[in-house]
Structure 1
Amino acid sequence: MTREVVTTERDAAIQQLRDVGLRVTAPRLEILHILTGGGHMDVETLAVAAREKLGALTSQAVYEMLRHFLETGLVTKFDRPGLPAVFEIAGTPHHHALCSLCGRVDNVTSAPLKKPGNDLSGWDVHGSEIVFKGICPDCSATARN
């Protein structure tokens, strides 16, 4: 049973790459697999995790893969002020919560924002996002101890 699930996940990743016109390679499959595991990861975290399975893989190669994934809509990028950007698999639109101490990013599901009427007259708005800033549960717990 486990073998079927692994094969299905791999086949799905292969199909994702093909659907957006990207060549299927072991590094691309591995980066997609890692991101599919959930969470928000920066380039170095992704590179280290991928190296565990693939061996040699440069951070520059991961940057290039992520650039292609962004251009084709496979992943999204969240910029954290003063910290490296993090990436996640593209999915349902959502907002983010950002810890001001450790930089942790969590997804926040809420109703989509509506375009403000006259305030953005002439703008071609493509989307919106709210970022909730605060202290994550881990940092809060550490501060209490």
Structure 2
Amino acid sequence: MEESTGREAVIQRLRDVGLRVTGPRLEVLQVLTAGGHMDVEAITAAARERLGTLTSQAVYEMLRHFLETGLAAKFDRPGLPAVFEIAGPPHQHALCLRCGRVENVRARVPEPTDEALLDWRMDGGAEVVFKGLCPDCLRAQEGP
């Protein structure tokens, strides 16, 4: 019953932003709703398990629509494929410099002084990325 309720919520999210509910869109959005930060290949593989066939190009197109409608958010990782997550409250990210793992972080973003951006008009807020090594990479570095 819980899965049915979750599925209905995902269907409603698609409808709320004016997107037609299709099997592939529903599966991709459910993969994102399950949590985490996934690249296109991981999203495609997870959705493909339930659908049978799905191309990465189709997932790229769906993600573009999800980004445009505010259903999903994208995080660019230098030198690695971007990862996507379901859109939610504003938050920051931690990025592992070894494996590329991304985690959400709740942190207050500092405000610039008035003089720092005197002639600027800010539209997109600010983003802080905490860079370091994730627990798995730290354990691997330390060895047995």
TM-score by length of 1: 0.94
1:88 aligns with 2:97: no
Give the drift of 1:36: 1.1
Amino acid at match of 2:98: L
1:50 aligns with 2:50: no
1:137 aligns with 2:124: no
Give the drift of 1:20: 0.6
Distance in 1 (alpha carbons) for counterparts of 2:142 and 2:109 = 35
2:20 is paired with a residue of what secondary structure? coil
Give the drift of 1:32: 1.1
Distance in 2 (alpha carbons) for counterparts of 1:117 and 1:107 = 29
Amino acid at match of 2:26: L
1:37-67 C-alpha deviation (Å, 9 max, x unpaired): 1110000000011111101100000000000
Q: Structure 1 residues 91 and 113 mapped into 2: Cα distance closer, same or farther (>3 Å)?
A: farther
Distance in 2 (alpha carbons) for counterparts of 1:123 and 1:13 = 38
Alignment of 1:15-54 (within 5 A): 15-54=12-51
Q: Structure 1 residues 28 and 133 mapped into 2: Cα distance closer, same or farther (>3 Å)?
A: same
Residue number in structure 2 paired with 1:127: 125
Give the drift of 1:114: 2.7
Q: Percent identity?
A: 64
Gaps of 5+ in 1: none
2:79 is paired with a residue of what secondary structure? coil
1:11 is paired with a residue of what secondary structure? helix
Q: Structure 1 residues 116 and 55 mapped into 2: Cα distance closer, same or farther (>3 Å)?
A: farther
Give the drift of 1:11: 1.0
TM-score by length of 2: 0.94
Q: Structure 1 residues 24 and 138 mapped into 2: Cα distance closer, same or farther (>3 Å)?
A: same
Give the drift of 1:18: 0.7
1:80-122 C-alpha deviation (Å, 9 max, x unpaired): 0000000001101000000000000011101244354221123
